[in-house]
Structure 1
């Protein structure tokens, strides 16, 4: 039984903790509102919205092909532009029908989505719900 409002903590595995910390702090932080990390012996914990992103280093970590974390944003085009200006690269999947910025429009017009990798190869996403 919960004693208060639970907050989400996304657990992200990384192979290079310092490189990942820099990416989440310097690239994602200013654009997506990720705060300065708390750092301990086991990982880095960034406040984000009502929850946290926890980076944990695993030296032999290999990222998977599916998204591990995403953000719902008000304007995906502005978020993409902000991330690209900080050095992130949006992914374009051949035959998927994304625009030149890497944004995919759902067939029903209800969502616009863009995908990118973090510094460790984890797949991340941005979604604008309409």
Structure 2
């Protein structure tokens, strides 16, 4: 039934204007606003809907991952744009001082949007 459906993902935020500024200006993603909602136009035609939700509570898991070629460069560039990376100590997700968890050939760094939703940059 849904094999040929062009499904898409979405997530909530309490403030569309703040989300538009963060995703569009800080992260540099193409965004459009229509009917009080945002569409993030991600590479590969993977549009993602961002909708307002009063009383929003951020998810406790990563909602959006951005693969990068060089995690240190990505973290440095985002930090320069005002993004603060999460630091985890004493857990299986232990991060270095930059906020990067490194395991084998892969690495991941988590940060949040203005709504508290968890995002990441990662190498695989």
TM-score of the pair, normalised by structure 1? 0.84
Specify the alignment match of 1:43 in structure 2.
37
SS in 2 for 1:88: coil
> After superposition, where does 1:75-114 map in structure 2 within 5 Å?
75-95=70-90, 96-106=93-103, 109-114=104-109
Specify the alignment match of 1:2 in structure 2.
4
8 Å CA contact 2:12, 2:56 repeated in 1: yes
In the TM superposition, structure 1's runs of 4+ consecutive aligned residues that sit over 6 Å from their partners are none
Counterpart selection for 1:118 from 109, 113, 120? 113
8 Å CA contact 2:16, 2:36 repeated in 1: no
Specify the alignment match of 2:58 in structure 1.
63
SS in 2 for 1:61: coil
Change in Cα spacing, 1:9 to 1:78, as seen in structure 2 (3 Å) is farther
Structure 1 unpaired stretches of 5+: none
Measure how far apart 1:98 and its partner are: 1.5
8 Å CA contact 1:13, 1:56 repeated in 2: yes
8 Å CA contact 1:10, 1:69 repeated in 2: no
Structure 2 unpaired stretches of 5+: none
RMSD: 1.6
Distance 2:13 2:61 in 1: 15
Specify the alignment match of 2:47 in structure 1.
52
